[in-house]
Amino acid sequence: MTSAARSSAFADVSQRLQTVGFKKRAGLLFTRDIADDVLGWLGLNRASRHTPAGCYEINPVVGIRHQGVERIIAELRKEKFHPYMPPTVSRPLGYLMPDPRYRSWTVSETNSGQSINSLIEAIEDHAAPFIESHATLAGVCELLDDKMGFDHQLVYRRPVAWLLAGDIPRALRLVATAEEALGGRSDAAALEFRSFAAEFQRYAGVSHTG
């Protein structure tokens, strides 16, 4: 698929998603306002290796982003808050459909119309209802406990979500457990989490007394 055809196909997807209420963000990221401080999230992860020349495989990833949780994480990690990246919880669309399994949509020059139609239909029928049914802090906490996402990201989000939900002892336990699991690791990810854990305990102490 030449770059012009690819751009055209992706522009088509983008336009169709916007007509069903998604807002286009950078690249192939889309969000949808679903509640106060909660965004629906959709990323079109792509693969082109192991596909015939001219074909792209799209792995749509559905997520929910709780802005309150993400603001606290950014503050504790001493980072600038990003308005839509990453999602608080996420999972590939195929696992949200009946008969959960990995599903991808292949777009090529000869079938981009059909593929795009099918993709949009799946998003409307399965992704949108899923997002809307978990558009609360309680819903997000439930999905976090269900480990919906990448573990190295969930270790930050689980304690913060429970802190926001008011269950501070549980939040502190989650941080302590995750820190203990690091053991003697000294890689960059471990160092960052230890720093976050220290900040979280200070923050939780202030929140508890505050």
Question: Using CB under 8 A as the criterion, which residues of the chain lie in contact with other proteins when the complex forms?
Answer: 2, 4-5, 8, 26-29, 41, 43-55, 57, 59, 61, 63, 85-87, 90-92, 95, 101-102, 104, 108-111, 113-114, 147, 149-153, 185, 187-190, 192
Identify which of residues 51 and 136 has a Cβ nearer to other proteins in the complex.
51
* Minimum CB distance to other proteins smaller for 111 or for 207: 111
Please state the closest distance from residue 31 (CB atom) to other proteins, in A: 12
Distance of closest approach, residue 158 Cβ to other proteins, in angstroms? 13
Taking the C-alpha atoms of residue 187 and residue 64, their distance in angstroms, rounded to an integer, is 29
Judged by DSSP in three states, 121 sits in helix
| Calpha distance 206→199 (Å, rounded) | 11
Nearest approach in angstroms of CB 64 to other proteins is 11
**Are the C-beta atoms of 31 and 25 separated by less than 8 Å?**
yes
In the complex with other proteins, the residue whose CB is nearer, 94 or 139, is 94
CB of 87 to other proteins, least distance (A): 5
Written as six digits, the tokens of 54 are: 């001219």
Buried/exposed 100-139: b ≥16 CB within 10 Å, e otherwise: eeebbbbbbeeebeebbeebbebbeebbbebbeebbbbeb
Indicate the residue among 7 and 166 with the shorter CB distance to other proteins: 7
